Structure 1
Amino acid sequence: RRYQQLCFCFGTLCLILVLSVIGVCVYCKYTKLEENHNLTSLNEKLMEDRKNLTEIIETWNELNVSRAQWSIDQYCPTSNDGRRCTPCQSGWNFHMFRCYLHNNANPSDQKTWEEAQEYCKTKNSNLTVVSNQAEKKFVDDNSWAENEINGYWIGLRAVKGKWKWINGSDLTDLNWIHHQNAVEGHCVTSRAGRDWNTMNCNDKNAWICEKKALSV
């Protein structure tokens, strides 16, 4: 009788062991299938990302080529004598390795100081920053008051009680502004035959953009 009990217990243990082995095998197989599925999904995603990146690179290259061609056409326009390069684009004035665009806008097209700066950014430039007396004379001499223009915005405004250029530097010669107080919300205009004037930055005026000239 004891022998039968031992056989029963041993048989039960063997059955449990067999079932455990089967369970482990099934689990391993399921885990492997899941891992393979995850790897397949990851590989597909990587392939899709690679395709998207390739398309982005191709688009970027096309844009660079288009931009390069645009720059060539702007600075080196075609004429009967072939291409001839200039340091500034058409409509811009050259002075001391810089290019200046005096926007003689009609009253309906004039802009606030911020709007003028945003416009200059679209031309890869900023409102003009005057560095010396010679540059000031050039800027002023070309700031003609016509088409109901009261003045031209330049890159100078009041910031925390100081006159600051748009590049962050201070106005060093306060005689240019006749020691007018830097009232918050006020910006500066230039006009030929008149001293620099301060007015509310939200007023509408013409404006002057400036950028580095092309080395030719």
Structure 2
Amino acid sequence: MAEDKVNYASVVFKSNHQQRSEVKKEETVYDEVKVQNRATEQTPVTNASAEFLPDKKSNSRCRHYQQLACCLGMLCIILVLGIIAVGVYHVTSIHEIDETEMNQLKENQTTLNAVNRNLTKLNNKLSSDNEDLKRNQTKLTLQMNNLTQVVTVLEKNVTNLTAENWNLRGKNEELEAEKKNLTNQIQDMTTSWNELNVSRAQWSIDAYCPKNKINNNRTCNVCQAGWLPFQSDCYAINNAELPDRKTWEGARENCTGKISDLAVVNNETEKNFVSGNSWWNSGNSAYWIGLRVEGGNWKWVDGRNLTNSSWITQAPTDGQCAISVKNEFKSVNCSEKNQWICKKKALTL
């Protein structure tokens, strides 16, 4: 009896999934279904009916196996087609999703590029502003240094001014004390001046209106005692002894002390009066008058120039002063010592 052996092979389905950005492929590996019929060596059967029965059973099994194999094959084909359909759908969906994401990514990239450009512009602006700030900071630093120096100078000036203020306060106190002293001195001088004025008034009365020793009556004169009246003036002829004679400056100081000055001659009549009184007992008498050389010119003590050059024949020389001698004027050195004539206004009665 022939014996059939059926070998079954397993079917393995393998699918490889790649990344979403690539098209996914699925592979299906089929193994061959092999049916091996190994017939054992038939022993010779002598009986024909015996040979027929095993062949009939064997054919029935073969058909049965063939039908089963066909079913399995159809099932495999269906499964393969389903798998292919699912893969195609999956790939299509992934492709659509990839296109959508790609568009979105492109839009995002465009937006990011715009944002990047804006950020670049902003960065450039910030860099420019930063450079400006650095320059401004440098300027401010220089200004701050200058201001610091100015403040230092001002502080020194304030210190100096404060010290000067204290010094001025001290000086002010000293000045206040001096002012007080001067005020007191002025008051004293005012009192003395008033007393002096009274004394001088009394002196003037006594000088110009002396009392008569017999009846004590006063008789007033245009000139005080010892002065000669001439025209509207009074003249004092100082007939000093030789040891008491003075230089031109000394004689003028003496006249000033008598509220007068050295005699100034205005006309020929007055010249004759002065010259006529310019002698004493000695024939060599000489009297200082108010005429001397100033700036190369003969000038009177009242500031007028000598207009009549015939009154003195000597040329004007610095250091020379005029003296009056009998009937004429002469030029001598101002340092000589002579007598002198004073002149002042007479009173009007």
The equivalent residue for 1:119 is 254
- The answer as to whether partners of 1:106 and 1:148 remain within 8 angstroms in 2 is no
The residue aligned with 1:182 is 316
Q: What is the 5 A alignment of 1:91-130? A: 91-130=226-265
CA change 1:126–1:149 in 2 (3 A) is farther
1:145 touches 1:191 (CA, 8 Å); kept in 2?
no
Which residues of 2 match residues 3-82 of structure 1 at below 5 A? Answer: 54-79=187-212, 80=215, 82=217
Unmatched runs of 5 consecutive residues or more in structure 2: 1-172
Question: Structure 1's 133 and 59: CA in aligned 2 closer, same or farther, altered over 3 A?
Answer: same
1:150 is matched with 285
**Bigger share in strand:** 1
How far, CA to CA, are the matches of 1:111 and 1:148 in structure 2?
19
Give matches, 1:124-143, under 5 Å. 124-143=259-278
Give yes or no for contact 1:112–1:201 (8 Å, CA) kept in 2. Answer: yes
Partner of residue 330 from structure 2, selected from 197, 204, 209: 197
Q: For 1:164, which of 289, 299, 315 is the aligned residue? A: 299
Q: Is the 8 A contact 2:263 2:343 kept in 1?
A: yes
Identity of aligned residues (%): 47
Deviation at 1:59, TM superposition (A): 2.7
**Aligned with 1:83: secondary structure?**
coil
Q: What secondary structure does 1:115 align onto?
A: helix
CA shift for structure 1 position 60:
2.4
Aligned-residue offset at 1:50: 7.1
How far apart, in 2, do the equivalents of 1:49 and 1:162 lie? Answer: 43
Consecutive aligned runs of 4 or more in structure 1 exceeding 3 Å deviation = 45-57, 147-150
Quick one: which of 270, 288, 308 aligns to 1:173?
A: 308
Paired residue for 1:83? Answer: 218
Gaps of 5+ in 1: 1-40
Contact 1:161 1:183 in 2 (8 A): yes
Match of 2:341 in 1: 208
Tell me how far 1:90 sits from its aligned partner.
0.9
What is the CA distance between 1:150 and its match in structure 2? 3.5
TM-superposition CA deviations, 1:127-182 (whole Å, max 9, x none): 0000001100110111114347431110000111100001111000001112x210
Structure with the greater relative contact order (CA < 8 A, sep ≥ 6): 1 or 2?
1
Structure-2 change in CA distance of 1:185 and 1:82 (3 Å)? same
C-alpha spacing 1:52/1:117, structure 2 compared with 1 (3 Å): closer
- Sort the Cα spacing of 1:214 and 1:48 in 2 relative to 1 into closer, same or farther, 3 A: same
Q: Contact 1:140/1:191 (CA < 8 Å) preserved in 2?
A: yes
How many corresponding residue pairs? Answer: 172
How far off is 1:51 after superposition? 6.5
Q: CA deviation at 1:96?
A: 0.8
Query: 2:278 aligns to what SS in structure 1?
Result: coil
> CA RMSD of the aligned region, Å?
2.3
Aligned-partner SS, 1:82: coil
Distance 1:85 1:48, change over 3 A: same
User: What is the SS of the residue equivalent to 2:264?
Assistant: coil
Q: Deviations over 1:85-122 (max 9, x none)?
A: 10111111000110001111111111110000001011
Q: Which has the larger radius of gyration?
A: 2
Any conservation in 2 of the 1:130–1:136 contact (CA below 8 Å)?
A: yes
Rounded to whole Å, the distance in 2 between the matches of 1:51 and 1:191 is 51
